[in-house]
Amino acid sequence: MKVTVIGAGAVGATCADNIALKELCNELVLLDIKEGIAEGKAQDMMQTATLLGFDTKITGSTNDYSKTAGSDVVVITSGLPRKPGMTREELIGVNTGIVKTVCENVLKHSPNAIIIVISNPMDTMTYLALQSTNLPKHRIIGMGGTLDSARFKYQLSQHLGCSPADLNAVVVGGHGDTTMIPLIRHATWNSTPVSRYLSTEQQEKIVKDTMVGGATLTALIGTSAWYAPGAAGAALVESILRDEKKLFTCCVSLEGEYGQKDICLGVPVIIGKNGWERILDFDLNESEKAAFQKSADAVRSMNDVLKTL
Ligand code: APR
C-alpha cells in the first residue's frame, strides 16, 4: 500500500507521522512545494523508525509528483493555515488555486487514488476537488467532521469525567465555527444519552466550546492546530486501508440525502476500502433540520465564491 501526503507543514507532517506509527502502508510520500522541507521531515521521521519500531518507508519530494505514482490514498493538507482572528472561509482565495493544481498533479500519477481533503475552507475545497477532478463521488472525502466530532467528544468527556473512547457523538454540517452542528441530542455515553448526566447549561456550553474549538486553539497557539487534524486524517486513511468500515462524519457529495443536492457537507458515513461507502440517515428533529439547512446555505454561498475566482 502507498499513501501520499501533500503539504509537509504542521498538519501534513503530523498526519504522515501517525500513518507511519500505525504502519498503515509500506510506502509513504510527503510532498511540499517548499524546497527541502518534505525531504527533511521525511528523513527526521525515518530516524525515529528504529526508536518507535515501524517499517513504513517514508520519502520526501519537492513538488515531484512522479514520486507519488500509484498511491492508494492521497491526503491534501497544502495551503495556508488560519491566523488568530481569521475564519477558515477567509482562506478560500489562495487555497483554491493550490488545491486545484494539487488534485490535477496527483491524478496524473495516481488515477485510482482516494483523496482526503484537509485544506480549508474544507467544505468548499472538497466540493472543488469533486468538481475539478470529476472523480466518482465515493473517492473524495473531506476530513472536517472527523476532527470536529473528536473535539466534541473531548468537550463531553471533560464534563462527564469519562473516557472519550466510551462516547458516541457526531458533529454534522459545515466545518466552520458557525456552520457545524454538534448533535448533542444523539450523543451517548455507553448507549445512555449524555443529557441524562448533563444540565441544559452544560450541554449548551459543550456545543459552544466545540464550535469554537479550532478558533480557541488558533488564539492560543498563534496558528491553527495540527495534532488532532493530523490524527483525524490518519484515522480516515486507516479505515480505508484496513477496510474497517468505521463511522466518521465526513464531508461528502450529497445527492438528496439530508435534503441537499450539489454540495459537499458533513454527514455520518461508513469509511472503507472504496472510500466513503454509505451515508447513515440520522433522524434529525425540526430544529436540527433547520440548522442543517442554514449550514448548507452558508457553505453554498462559500462555494459560489469559487465561480468568481
Ligand atoms: N503544493 C504543495 N505544498 C504546498 C503548496 C502546493 N501548491 N502550497 C503550499 N504548500 C505547503 C506549504 O509549503 C506548507 O509547508 O503546504 C504546507 C502547509 O503547512 P502549514 O503552513 O504548516 O499549514 P498547516 O497548519 O499544516 O495547515 C494546512 O490544513 O487545517 C488546514 O487550515 C489548515 O488549510 C490549512 C491546512
Burial of 177 (0-12, 13-18, 19+ CB in 10 A): middle
Phi, psi angles (nearest 5°) of residue 195: -60, -20
66-104 per-residue burial string, b: 16 or more CB within 10 A, e: under 16: ebbeebbbbbbbbbbbbeeebebbebbeebbebbbebbe
Question: Which of 6, 74, 77 has most ligand 1 atoms within 8 Å of its beta carbon, as the pocket-test mutant?
Answer: 77
β-strand partners of 31: 6, 61
- Amino acid residing at 191: S
Question: Which residues are marked as active site?
Answer: 175
Q: Say what the pLDDT of residue 45 is.
A: 98
Does residue 11 line the site of ligand 1, with CB under 6 A? yes
Answer yes or no: is pLDDT of 51 > 90.
yes
Residue-wise pLDDT for 225-237, tens only, equals: 999 999 999 999 9
Q: Mind listing the pLDDT tens digit for each residue in 99-143?
A: 999 999 999 999 999 999 999 999 999 999 999 999 999 999 999
pLDDT band at 71 (very low <50, low <70, confident <90, very high): very high
User: Is ligand 1 within 6 A of the CB of residue 78?
Assistant: yes
- Ligand 1 centroid to Cα of residue 80, in Å, is 5
Cα–Cα distance, 237 to 229 (Å, whole number): 13
Q: Is 7 in the pocket of ligand 1 (CB under 6 A)?
A: yes
CATH of 145-308 among 3.40.50.300, 1.50.40.10, 3.90.110.10, 3.90.1150.10: 3.90.110.10
Say how far apart CA 43 and CA 57 lie, in whole Å.
Answer: 10
User: Which residue's alpha carbon is nearest to atom 35 within ligand 1?
Assistant: 81
Q: Is 182 in the pocket of ligand 1 (CB under 6 A)?
A: no
In 3-state terms, the chain is what percent helix, strand and coil (to 5)?
A: 50, 20, 30
Q: In the structure, what pLDDT confidence band is assigned to residue 88 with cuts at 50, 70 and 90?
A: confident
65 lines ligand 1 (CB under 6 A): no
CA atoms of 274 and 247, how far apart (whole Å): 14
pLDDT at 278 over 90: yes
> Which atom of ligand 1 is closest in space to residue 101's alpha carbon?
7
| CA 114 to centroid of ligand 1, rounded, Å | 19
pLDDT for 86 equals 81
Name the band, by pLDDT with cuts 50, 70 and 90, for residue 93. confident
- Nearest residue by C-alpha to atom 20 in ligand 1: 9
Q: Which amino acid is at 89?
A: E
The answer to whether 181 touches 187, Cβ cutoff 8 Å, is no
The domain locations on the chain are 2-144, 145-308
How is residue 267 written as a grid cell?
A: 454527514
User: Does the Cβ of 68 fall within 6 Å of ligand 1?
Assistant: no
Q: How far is ligand 1, taken at its centre, from the CA of residue 81, in Å?
A: 6
Residue 155 pLDDT class (50, 70, 90 cuts): very high
**CATH class entry, domain 2-144:** alpha beta
Q: Report the run of H or E that residue 171 belongs to, with start and end.
A: strand 171-173
121 lines ligand 1 (CB under 6 A): no
Cα torsion for 287, 291, 296, 302, to the nearest 10°?
A: 160
9 CA to centre of ligand 1 in angstroms: 5
What's the pLDDT at 113?
98
Ligand 1 atom with the shortest distance to the CA of 120: 34
